[in-house]
Structure 1
Amino acid sequence: MSLQNLQQIQEQLLVLQAQSRNSVAFQQLVQTYERRLFYYLQRFTGASADSADLMQEIWLNVYQKLPGLNAPEAFRVWLYKIAHNRAVSYLRKRDRQTAAAFYQVQNGSITESEMEQGFEQLENAELVHRVLEQLSLPHREVLTLRFLEDLSLQEISEIISTSIGTVKSRLHYARLEMRKVIEEEYNG
């Protein structure tokens, strides 16, 4: 049995225990996902201060709805779906234009391997943050979920409630937009 399989089984057991209102198990789930979820919210909303408030709302929502989760193995996708929906609601309240931009698709082209190399080359976290901040909201979201959260296309599709084809399209266009921003950073 691989380490990854063992971790998945342990997580499923934690989810089952947390569904029975075991507070220690729930706290372990929070600790497991807290940093990654906070990072995702920061990148998605661009608001560090508000991310902490969003986190509290998300974890409260998770706690309330966890007993109704039928598939413990789907916890990660389910959690990110809740976070995604809460972040979209936050953005709608904060700025109607930003929420509208979330659903726009822009033009661009870069291969997935080039994108992965680009992330590897961008060792400085501040530079990565600056580059992501300059991207449109839908592009920032799919890039964060795919390359920083390492989610599959299927998982991203479920989180943002869209087809896999749309996810692929957004990734395609996001790569071009990111390439342009990186070129401007390095050549500008």
Structure 2
Amino acid sequence: MDDKELLFLIKENKNKGFKYLVEKYSKSIYWHIRKIVLDHNNADDVTQNVFIKVFLNLDFFKGDSSLKTWIYKIATNESINFLNSAAQKKNVNSEELAIQLSSQLEDDSYFEGEEIQLKLQQAIAMLPEKQRIVFNMKYFDDLKYEEISEILNTSVGALKSSYHHATKKIEEFLLNSIEK
């Protein structure tokens, strides 16, 4: 079912349409959030909050963007808000919190990765928040720059620059960790 059909179904039967929306987007949204907040339990909580917000605001969706980018925008904002709130509670900034969370990935029973994947996640955690989010959206979520631009309200040129800087920093981190 494409998004136009889904939106039509939601107008006809909000509960049934929303059920299909969750089925269609829950996995990709969970993983998008998980790459930002890093922890499974936190990602689960934020994902639930996202879909609650989506449900409550479906009547206000104007279609100026695609349904997918609208949901990703909500998910990104909720993830950032979660990190900022968690960082504030721990009296650190969001970058320091991301580094703390990435160091706990080895002990996370939901993290299924080899050492190189762990190193990659640690490298990504070292990035400034915007670069981290742009890298994840482009590299892992395979979103187009135009979609990311709508989600983050940033120009395509700025996104390309952020992605380039992120890849260089990740490459440098990985090379340095291999040399050790």
Tell me the TM-score range normalised by the shorter chain: 0.7 to 0.9
Q: Structure 1 stretch 145-154 or stretch 70-79: which is displaced more?
A: 70-79
Match of 2:35 in 1: 43
**Identity rate, percent:** 21
Match of 1:174 in 2: 166
> Which of 81, 85, 105 pairs up with 2:77?
85
**Cα distance in 2 between the residues matched to 1:55 and 1:19:** 23
Q: What 5-or-longer segments of structure 1 have no aligned partner?
A: 1-6, 102-121
The Cα offsets for residues 119-145 of structure 1, whole Å up to 9 and x where unpaired, read as xxx996545434433433222211111
Seen in structure 2, the aligned counterparts of structure 1 residues 137 and 48 have a Cα distance that, compared at 3 Å, is farther
Q: What 5-or-longer segments of structure 2 have no aligned partner?
A: 97-113
The Cα offsets for residues 64-110 of structure 1, whole Å up to 9 and x where unpaired, read as 11122122861011001111111121122111453488xxxxxxxxx
Match of 1:133 in 2: 125
Size of the alignment, in residue pairs? 160
Match of 1:98 in 2: 93
Match of 1:107 in 2: none
Given that 2:95 and 2:128 are in contact with CA atoms closer than 8 Å, whether structure 1 keeps it comes out as no
Give the secondary-structure state (helix, strand or coil) at the position aligned to 1:52. Answer: helix
**Cα distance in 2 between the residues matched to 1:20 and 1:72:** 20
Match of 1:17 in 2: 9
- What TM-score do you get using the length of structure 2 for normalisation? 0.76
Given that 1:145 and 1:156 are in contact with CA atoms closer than 8 Å, whether structure 2 keeps it comes out as yes
Q: Which runs of 4+ in 1 moved over 6 A?
A: none
Q: In the TM superposition, what is the alpha-carbon distance from 1:176 to its structure 2 partner?
A: 0.9
What code does the residue aligned with 2:73 have?
K
Q: How big is the alpha-carbon RMSD for the aligned residues of Structure 1 and Structure 2? A: 2.6
Give the secondary-structure state (helix, strand or coil) at the position aligned to 2:142. Answer: coil
Give the secondary-structure state (helix, strand or coil) at the position aligned to 1:95. Answer: helix
Match of 2:140 in 1: 148
Give the secondary-structure state (helix, strand or coil) at the position aligned to 2:93. Answer: helix
- Higher RCO structure (Cα 8 Å, ≥6 apart): 1
- What TM-score do you get using the length of structure 1 for normalisation? 0.73
**Cα distance in 2 between the residues matched to 1:20 and 1:173:** 46
